[in-house]
Amino acid sequence: MTSRYPQSPTVVLTGAASPRGIGQATANYLAERGWNVGVIDLDDSESKTVAQTIAATYGVKAFGVGADVVDDSAVRAAFDVLESELPQVVALVNLAGVSSPDPYLEVSTEEWDRVIGINLTGVHHVTRRAAQTMARHGVGRIVSLSSVSAQRGGGTYSKAAYSAAKAGVIGLTRAAARELGAFGITVNAIAPGPIDTDIMGGPLTEERKRRMAADGVLDRIGEPRDVAAAVSYLISEDAGFVTGHTLNVDGGLYMH
């Protein structure tokens, strides 16, 4: 098989500015393995700082731009900038997301729309913009963060709006995989169980971690690195026959 990957590929990650988040850990993990890195997060200067640190640490090219993934034109503008600053974009990782613990009987229309807007429509905006470039090059890898919450109907921290959005990510992943396969683009989702970040209402206490781990079959909750390693595989050239898949990184929380 002849390689379609350029010598020096770029991965764009949304939601990679949060210091203890999965996105920043994944950006570092991939840069360490030679990927150039584009960062899209809400705050422009935080996105740029993360990128500058990555470039200085790993000697790759990196650039950050601020954009709200809910805003399609802002996403397109940010992507244009990343493409002008960085080598060919081969991979996109959709990590930008928010939690939502509101009980179903109480969730407001505003909260519902906010969560669906960021966690599902935002994924669509960035995915389609990235796919347009990838289709032109005839190669691409797209990975989006779903959640075990989509599969089990919540049960970790977030509730219905989050579960619905993350289930939507799985549907979008499969539909996009079907349409984009002809262009050499694979589209996959990762469904993590609880990962030790600040998204579930702030830093997790040892007691909360212990309770969350008790539902799975391993004696711990996940670390950002567990997800980073899965992303690294799914965006590799060798994962080219895996598409439309949801990879559970959840310590056995959901087996089916």
Show which residues are catalytic: 162
Q: Is 199 in the site for ligand NAD (CB under 6 A)?
A: yes
Q: Is 147 in the site for ligand NAD (CB under 6 A)?
A: yes
For ligand NAD, the binding residue among 5, 6, 29, 70 (CB under 6 A) is 70
- The string of DSSP letters for 118-146 reads IIIIHHHHHHHHHHHHHHHHT-EEEEEE-
Reduce the DSSP state of residue 68 to 3 states and report it.
coil
Question: What is the residue type of 131?
Answer: A
For ligand NAD, the binding residue among 17, 62, 90, 170 (CB under 6 A) is 17
Burial of 23 (0-12, 13-18, 19+ CB in 10 A): buried
For ligand NAD, the binding residue among 9, 23, 38, 168 (CB under 6 A) is 23
Q: How many residues bind ligand NAD (CB under 6 A)?
A: 26
Least distance from C-beta 117 to ligand NAD, angstroms? 8
For ligand NAD, the binding residue among 97, 140, 168, 251 (CB under 6 A) is 97
Q: Is 160 in the site for ligand NAD (CB under 6 A)?
A: no
Where in 60-165 does DSSP place strands (E)? Answer: 62-66, 89-94, 140-145
Helix (H) or strand (E) holding 73: helix 72-85
Q: Is 188 in the site for ligand NAD (CB under 6 A)?
A: no
Tokens of 93: 């990782």
Q: Is 72 in the site for ligand NAD (CB under 6 A)?
A: no
Q: 92 phi and psi, to 5 degrees?
A: -130, 135
For ligand NAD, the binding residue among 12, 13, 22, 142 (CB under 6 A) is 22
Least distance from C-beta 70 to ligand NAD, angstroms? 5
Residue recorded with tokens 């969350």? 212
d(CA 231, CA 15): 14
Query: Which residues are near ligand NAD by CB under 6 A?
Result: 14-15, 17-18, 21-23, 41-42, 68-70, 95-98, 118, 122, 145, 147, 192, 194-195, 197-199
